[in-house]
Amino acid sequence: MAEFFQYALSGVTMGSIYAAVAVGFNLIYGTTGILNFAQGEFVMLGGMIAVSLAAFMPLPLAVAAAMLIVALCGGALEILFFRRLRSHSALHMIVITIGLSIVVREAALHVWDESVRSLPYFTGNECSSVHLAGAALSPQVFWVLGTVGLAVLVLHTFFRYSLAGKAMRACASNYEAAMLVGINTANVRTLAFSVSAGLGALAGCVISPIGMTQYDMGTDLAIKGFAAAILGGLGNPMAGVAGGLLVGLAESYSVKFLPAAYKDATAFAILLLVLFVRPHGLFGRRQGSAVREA
Amino acid sequence: MRPRPLVPVLAAALAVVALQVAVTAAGREYYLTQTIMAAYYAVVALGLCLVMGYAGQISLGHAAFFSLGGYTSAVLTTADLTPLARSGWGGPLLRLHLLQARAGLYGGETIGANPWAAFGGALLLTFAVALLVGYPALRLKGHYLAMATLGFGLIVYRLLLGTNLTGAADGITGVPPWRLGFGLEISGDGAQRIANYYVAWGLVLFTILLLTHIVHSRAGRAFRALHGGETAANSMGINTAAYKLRAFVLSALLAAAAGSMLTHYSGGIGPSEASAMKSVRYVALVAAGGMANLWGVLVVSATLNFLSLRGCFGSYDDALFGALLIAIVSLAPEGPLQPLTAQGRRLWSRLAGHRVMTTPEGPAP
C-alpha cells in the first residue's frame, strides 16, 4: 500500500508538470489554432533563467523574474512570427514551430552549456523528507503540486470572470465572431502565447530541484504534454490537467512492469493509442471533422 | 505534357561521374566518404518528399524507419547464429546462403545472416511496421499526424536506447561488408570507395527515376488531388486513404533501404540515427528543397548533408537546420529554388524560341 502510494505521488508530481505543459498547449491551440512544438522549451527556459538569476537574488524573486522574462519571450514570438504568418497552412506552421524549438534549444546550449542544473530546494534540502502514509516524499513535491494547482485555479478564475479571459474564450470558440464584436483578436493571441509561456516557465522552476534542468529537456516534455492535452481533448485547457495526471501516473506505474529504460516510451505509447482510438480525447466530444481538419 | 524523366536522370548521372573524376583528379578522394553518406540521407529525404510534397502528409518519424532498416541489418549480420546453423534448420538456410560464416572476434568462425537476407528482413520488418503505424496514423490530420509520427519515432528511439540486443547507447559496430558480387562490396574499405560512391548514387538515381514515374502516373495525379483537397479528391472517387498509405509505406521502405546500406558502409549504427532531431532534419531538407520538387530536395539535401558531415557548421549544426526551417518556410514556402527554376524555364523558352506551356507550378512567361 505504501509502495502504491509512493508511485502514485511520484506520478502525480511529474503529471502536474505535464498538466502545466498541456494547459499551455491548449491555451495557444484554442486561441490561435497553432500547435506550438516549442512549448517544452518554455519550461526549459524558465528553469534555466531562474537558475542563473538565483545566483544573485532571492529565490522567489528569481522565479518571478524568470516567469516574466519567458512570458515576454512568448509574446515576442507571437508578434515576430505568428502574427505575420497567419495565412500559412498547418504543415507550414508545424515546421516553423519545430524550427523555433530547435533554435531556442541550441541557443540555450550555447548560453548555458550542456551541464545539468537545478534550483535549490524551496524548503529543506535533498535529504529532508516528509513521511506520509508510509511514503517518503521530498518537500518539493508539495511545492510542485501546490504551485501548479494554484496556477490552474488562478487561470480558471481568469477565464471565468475577467474580461481578458472571456475574450480569450470567445476567440477560442469562434474567431470571426469574436472579431465582429470588437475583440482585438491579435492581442488576445499575443496574450495567449505570453500566459502559456509564463505557465511553462513556472512549471520549469518548481520541478527544477527534483527533475533537474537541461538544455534538451524540452522535446520530451512537449510530447508528453501533448499526450496529456490529447488525452483530455485538445483545446480544452482544464481537461489537460486530468490528462497530465493520467500520463504521469501511467508512466510512474509502468516502472513496476517494464524496465525503467522504457519509462519514456510508455507516455508516447499512450499518445499513439489515444490518437488512434479516441483522437477527440477522453472528455472531448466527437466533432467529426475537428480532428480531420488540416 | 509527357514527362521524360530519363533526360534529367542521365544528366544527373553524368554530373555524378564528373564529380567523381574531378574529386579524384584533385587528389581529394576522402571527400567521397561524406558524399556517399549524403547520398544515402538524400534517399530518405526523397522518399519523404513523396509523402510531404506530393501527398501533403507530414512524417516526423522517418529517422525511425531509417534506423529500423539499419539496425535490422546490423543485428542480423552481427548476431551469433551458430546455434541456429547447427540445428535442423541450419542445413537448408546455409545452402540457400541465407546464413554466412565470418571471422569471429576471437578467431574461429561465427555464423551470421547473409547481408542480402538481412536486407530483405529489414525491408519486410519496415513494411510491416509502416503499415501498422501508417494505417491508423494517416487517418489523422495536420497536428495530430505530426505528433503521432513524432511519438512513434520517439518510441523506436527509446526502445533502441534501452534494449541490449541493439547495443543500448553504444549501438552496433563491426557490421560485416556486404558483397554485391562482381568484386563489389558495400564497406568502409578505402579501396572500395569509388565503387561505393557509384552504388550510393546509383540508389539515388534509381529513387529519383522511381519517384518521377510515380509522380507523373495516375497515382501522382491522385496525390496532387489529395494535396489540393482531400474531400474533393474523395468525392472524385479517389481512395485517398489507400494512396496516402502507399506513399507512406514506399517512403518508409526507401528510408530503410538507405539505412541498411549506410550501416554496411559505415560498419555500424548508433541510436542517434533514430533521434527526433534526425527526423526533423529530413523534414527540414524537404521543406528547404521546396516540398514538391524532387530535384530541389536532392540538390539541397545532398549539399547541406555533405557540408554538415564535413563539419562546416561546427557546433551550430542543429541551430542552422532550425533557422533554415524557419527562414525558408516563412519567407519562401514554395521553396527557395522555385524562383530559380521559373527563371530557368523562361530563359530556356527564350532560347528555344517558343512559349512554354502553362504549368500549375510556375507562371507562364
Is position A158 within any domain?
yes
User: What residues in A contact B274, CB-CB < 8 Å?
Assistant: none
Is position B327 within any domain?
no
SS3 per-residue string spanning A8-59 = HHHHHHHHHHHHHHHHHHHHHHHHHCCCCCCHHHHHHHHHHHHHHHHCCCCH
Cβ-contact B243, B149 below 8 angstroms: no
Indicate if the pLDDT at residue A116 is higher than 50: yes
The shortest C-alpha distance from B125 to chain A (Å) reads: 19
Query: Which site among A18, A79, A94, A251 would you substitute to test the B interface, given the most B Cβ atoms closer than 10 Å to its Cβ?
Result: A94
Mean residue pLDDT across chain A? 83
Q: Which residue is closest to B287 within chain A, CA to CA?
A: A95
The residue with greater pLDDT, A225 or A130, is: A225
Indicate if the pLDDT at residue A286 is higher than 60: no
Cβ-contact B75, B224 below 8 angstroms: no
- Model confidence over A212-264: pLDDT tens digits? 888 888 888 888 888 888 888 777 777 888 888 888 888 888 887 877 777 77
Is position A234 within any domain?
yes
Is position A288 within any domain?
no
A292: pLDDT confidence band, cut at 50, 70 and 90? Answer: very low
Is position B275 within any domain?
yes
The shortest C-alpha distance from B312 to chain A (Å) reads: 17
Cβ-contact B84, B90 below 8 angstroms: yes
Query: Which site among B57, B147, B152, B230 would you substitute to test the A interface, given the most A Cβ atoms closer than 10 Å to its Cβ?
Result: B147
Which of these, B165, B64, B178, lies nearest to B119 by C-alpha position?
Answer: B178
pLDDT for A145 equals 86
User: What residues in A contact B141, CB-CB < 8 Å?
Assistant: 90, 291-294
The vertex-B84 CA angle with B79 and B90, nearest 5°, equals 125
The shortest C-alpha distance from A126 to chain B (Å) reads: 28
Query: Of chain B residues 50-69, which have a CB less than 8 A from chain A?
Result: 52, 56, 58, 60
Indicate if the pLDDT at residue A290 is higher than 50: no
Kindly give the parts of chain B with pLDDT less than 50: 1, 356-365
The secondary structure element, H or E, covering residue B38 is: helix B31-49
Which among B154, B283, B315 has the least Cβ separation from residue A223?
B154
Is B151's CB within 8 Å of A279's CB? Answer: no
pLDDT for B102 equals 67
A284: pLDDT confidence band, cut at 50, 70 and 90? Answer: low
Is B151's CB within 8 Å of A293's CB? Answer: no
Q: Which residue is closest to A113 within chain B, CA to CA?
A: B315
Is A98's CB within 8 Å of B137's CB? Answer: no
Is position A7 within any domain?
yes
Which among A98, A262, A292 has the least Cβ separation from residue B141?
A292
The secondary structure element, H or E, covering residue A131 is: strand A130-132
Which among A98, A101, A279 has the least Cβ separation from residue B144?
A279
**How far, in Å, CA of A209 to CA of A212, rounded?**
6
User: What residues in B contact A95, CB-CB < 8 Å?
Assistant: 283-284, 287, 325, 329
Which among A88, A94, A220 has the least Cβ separation from residue B58?
A94
Beta bridge partners of residue B111, listed in sequence order: B101
Beta bridge partners of residue A27, listed in sequence order: none
Indicate if the pLDDT at residue A48 is higher than 80: yes
User: What residues in B contact A105, CB-CB < 8 Å?
Assistant: 318, 322
The shortest C-alpha distance from B11 to chain A (Å) reads: 32
Helix, strand or coil for residue A265? helix
Is position B325 within any domain?
no
Which of these, B50, B80, B255, lies nearest to B174 by C-alpha position?
Answer: B80
pLDDT for B242 equals 84
pLDDT for A285 equals 61
User: What residues in A contact B315, CB-CB < 8 Å?
Assistant: 109-110
pLDDT for B4 equals 61
The residue with greater pLDDT, B349 or A42, is: A42
Is position B303 within any domain?
no
pLDDT for B362 equals 44
Which of these, B80, B87, B122, lies nearest to B102 by C-alpha position?
Answer: B80
Q: Which residue is closest to B161 within chain A, CA to CA?
A: A261
pLDDT for A88 equals 66
Kindly give the pairing relationship between strand A130-132 and strand A135-137.
antiparallel
DSSP state of A106: H
The vertex-B280 CA angle with B275 and B282, nearest 5°, equals 105
- Model confidence over B264-273: pLDDT tens digits? 888 888 888 8
Which of these, B193, B360, B205, lies nearest to B292 by C-alpha position?
Answer: B360
State whether residue B332 sits within 8 Å of chain A by CB: no
Could you give the ipTM of this predicted complex?
0.79
The shortest C-alpha distance from A102 to chain B (Å) reads: 5
Which of these, A23, A22, A66, lies nearest to A46 by C-alpha position?
Answer: A66
pLDDT for B356 equals 47
pLDDT for B214 equals 86
User: What residues in B contact A227, CB-CB < 8 Å?
Assistant: 151
Is position B357 within any domain?
no
The answer for residues whose C-beta is within 8 angstroms of residue A8's C-beta and 6 or more apart is A249, A252
Q: Which residue is closest to A225 within chain B, CA to CA?
A: B147
Pairs across A and B, CB distance < 8 A: 135
**Stretch A22-41: mean pLDDT:** 85
Is position A66 within any domain?
yes
Q: Which residue is closest to B316 within chain A, CA to CA?
A: A106
- H-helix segments, B163-293: 193-215, 218-228, 230-235, 240-266, 276-289
Is position A79 within any domain?
yes
Residue B174 lies in domain = 6-78+114-279
Query: For chain A, what is the domain count?
Result: 1
Query: For chain B, what is the domain count?
Result: 1
**How far, in Å, CA of A229 to CA of A236, rounded?**
8
The secondary structure element, H or E, covering residue B7 is: helix B6-25
**How far, in Å, CA of B49 to CA of B57, rounded?**
10
The answer for residues whose C-beta is within 8 angstroms of residue A286's C-beta and 6 or more apart is A280
Q: Which residue is closest to A290 within chain B, CA to CA?
A: B141
Query: Of chain B residues 123-162, which have a CB less than 8 A from chain A?
Result: 136-137, 139-144, 146-148, 150-152, 154-155, 158-159, 161-162
C-alpha distances out from residue B17 to B21, B189, B195, B265, Å:
6, 20, 11, 20
Instruction: Give the CATH number, domain containing residue A96.
Output: 1.10.3470
Is A230's CB within 8 Å of B52's CB? Answer: no
A45: pLDDT confidence band, cut at 50, 70 and 90? Answer: very high
User: What residues in A contact B287, CB-CB < 8 Å?
Assistant: 95
Residue A201 lies in domain = 2-277
Is position A283 within any domain?
no
Q: Which of A19-23, A141-145, B7-11, B198-202 has the lowest mean pLDDT?
A: B7-11
pLDDT for A294 equals 34
Is position A167 within any domain?
yes
C-alpha distances out from residue A261 to A214, A280, B157, Å:
19, 30, 11
- Model confidence over A160-178: pLDDT tens digits? 899 888 888 888 888 888 8
Is position B153 within any domain?
yes
Is B333's CB within 8 Å of A92's CB? Answer: yes
